């Protein structure tokens, strides 16, 4: 796990942290500029940067919560996701309870001008489109090597694969919007459920039910890990840490020195554990809820990017499915909080890698994998908008705001991910042919 300081200090690219500082200064100026247009935009940018840094430093990913335990047999990331959900639900519980006591109601029941319980915009009507969208999204994120937020952070790290996937993620989004709107207008679109648990069980009852579900999943993860250990296919949870991100051995000359490479390494290079990342993400997403009255989401902004791009080529979006999207696009993408936050995630990821001296453009792509990246991006874009959200909005934020739709999407997403892992094992570099034995 540990290595000599010299392995990290010698040849460290100190020019990269300087570039990171320049980016931070530029983002500060940019945030100040957009803040004159809309006060919340700098907050959106700031929260995005924080998310990008934490997601990158902890190597935290939603897709990995499925892939990692299936391939490696160890559920460290899966358990961290459960910790993140617990912490977020606990924090959201207080915010939503306080809001309800002051007369706010769920968003799907509110008339214009009524106060809304923060986060209940994610209490979606779950129908067959939610299930199909979740399955397609789950399949796509395994092909693409990352979920929605993971694609953004990988872009910030210079991954050419992610940049390629992102293009097709965007292209799949608008068709997904149209498909969901069209499906909802039909007979089958009316069959489903929209339930905000506190309405039926009270806030603390909803919290207790949610915790029981998390504990049940945690128990299943432990049982699965035990089986993989017995099979000899369980990998060391820390076995995939790269040399540069492992803790350094203390050097006698640096032990009492605050201004040392060891201190710098601890603060900006050493990898954060999954559980540390989980807690930090929960805090950041609570900050987002408090400052915007909405929970974290990613992919609705992707639809706006596609509509804005295609409008430049004369494409008209006349379907009612795009009415609100076109309105937002015409107001300017720099006025859209979701777009600004997504940009912040990419920037935050780049800052994290630059501070670690590890940034580089990895533009070489395996040609045999390109079709999977194309399909993966399209499936994620289409599936996310068909389901009215991705791993962030339809899963994490929906579950954290006590919506039944979040659990339904999660089950569908896991099924989709497992389908890709089982059916396409060994057919592309991102899906190993066999499970590791370590």
Q: What per-residue confidence (pLDDT) applies to 7?
A: 43
Q: Could you please report the per-residue DSSP string of 274-322?
A: HHHHHHHHHHHHHHHHHHHSS----THHHHHHHHHHHHTTT----SGGG
Cα 124 to Cα 120: distance, rounded to the nearest angstrom: 8
pLDDT (0 to 100) of residue 262: 84
pLDDT of res. 113 = 86
Question: Of 407, 436, 406, 435, which is closest to residue 421 (Cα–Cα)?
Answer: 435
Find all residues with CB under 8 Å of 5, minimum gap 6, and list them: 248, 249, 251, 254, 261, 262, 265
CB 163 within 8 A of CB 151: no
Q: What is the DSSP string of 121-177?
A: GG-PPEEHHHHHHHHHHHHHHHHHTS-HHHHHHHHHTTBHHHHHHHHHHHHHHHHHH
Domain ranges of the chain: 5-105+117-423
Residue numbers of the chain with a pLDDT score lower than 70? 1-11, 250-257, 434-438
Cross-strand partners of 192: 127
In angstroms, how far apart are the furthest CA atoms of the chain? 73
- What tens digit of pLDDT does each residue of 121-170 get? 999 999 999 999 999 999 999 999 999 999 999 999 999 999 999 999 99
123 close to 405: Cβ distance less than 8 angstroms: yes
Q: Tell me the two tokens of residue 1.
A: 């796990």
pLDDT, position 3: 44
Query: Which among 76, 147, 160 has a CA at the least distance from the CA of 395?
Result: 147
For the stretch 211-240, pLDDT in tens is 999 999 999 999 999 999 999 999 999 888
**What count of residues does the chain have?**
438
Q: Rounded to two decimals, what is the model's pTM?
A: 0.93
The predicted pLDDT at position 430 comes to 82
Directed axis angle between helix 160-185 and helix 128-144, to 10°? 170
Please, which residues bridge with residue 159 across strands? 362
Query: Which tokens belong to 284?
Result: 């950041």
């Amino acid at each position: 796990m540990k290595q000599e300081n010299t392995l990290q200090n010698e040849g460290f690219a100190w020019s990269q942290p300087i570039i990171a500082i320049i980016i931070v200064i530029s983002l500060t100026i940019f945030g100040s500029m957009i803040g004159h247009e809309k006060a919340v935009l700098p907050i959106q940018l700031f929260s995005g940067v924080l998310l990008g840094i934490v997601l990158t430093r902890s190597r935290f990913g939603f897709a990995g919560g499925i892939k990692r335990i299936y391939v490696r047999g160890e559920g460290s990331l899966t358990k961290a996701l459960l910790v993140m959900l617990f912490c977020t639900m606990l924090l959201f519980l207080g915010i939503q309870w306080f809001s309800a006591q002051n007369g706010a109601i769920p968003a799907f029941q509110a008339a214009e001008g009524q106060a809304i319980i923060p986060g209940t915009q994610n209490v979606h009507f779950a129908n067959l489109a939610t299930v199909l969208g979740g399955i397609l999204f789950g399949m796509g994120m395994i092909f693409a090597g990352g979920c929605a937020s993971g694609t953004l952070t990988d872009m910030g790290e210079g991954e050419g694969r992610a940049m390629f996937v992102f293009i097709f993620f965007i292209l799949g989004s608008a068709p997904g919007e149209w498909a969901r709107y069209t499906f909802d207008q039909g007979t089958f679109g009316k069959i489903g459920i929209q339930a905000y648990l506190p309405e039926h069980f009270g806030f603390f009852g909803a919290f207790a039910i949610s915790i029981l579900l998390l504990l049940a999943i945690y128990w299943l993860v432990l049982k699965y890990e035990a089986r993989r250990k017995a099979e000899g296919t369980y990998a060391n949870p820390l076995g995939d840490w790269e040399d540069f991100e492992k803790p350094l051995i203390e050097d006698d000359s640096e032990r009492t020195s605050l201004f040392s490479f060891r201190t710098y390494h601890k603060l900006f290079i050493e990898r954060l554990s999954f559980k540390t990342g989980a807690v930090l993400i929960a805090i950041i997403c609570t900050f987002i809820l408090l400052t915007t009255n909405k929970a974290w989401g990613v992919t609705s902004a992707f639809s706006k990017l596609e509509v804005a791009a295609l409008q430049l080529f004369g494409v008209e979006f006349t379907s009612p499915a795009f009415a609100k999207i076109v309105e937002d696009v015409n107001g300017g993408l720099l006025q859209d909080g979701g777009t600004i936050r997504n940009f912040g995630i990419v920037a935050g990821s780049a800052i994290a890698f630059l501070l670690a001296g590890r940034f580089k453009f990895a533009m070489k792509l395996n040609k045999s994998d390109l079709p999977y990246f194309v399909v993966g991006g399209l499936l994620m874009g289409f599936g996310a908008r068909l389901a009215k959200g991705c791993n962030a909005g339809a899963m994490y934020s929906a579950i954290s705001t006590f919506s039944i739709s979040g659990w339904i999407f999660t089950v569908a997403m896991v099924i989709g991910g497992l389908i890709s892992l089982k059916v396409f094992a060994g057919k592309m570099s991102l899906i190993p042919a066999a499970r590791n034995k370590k």
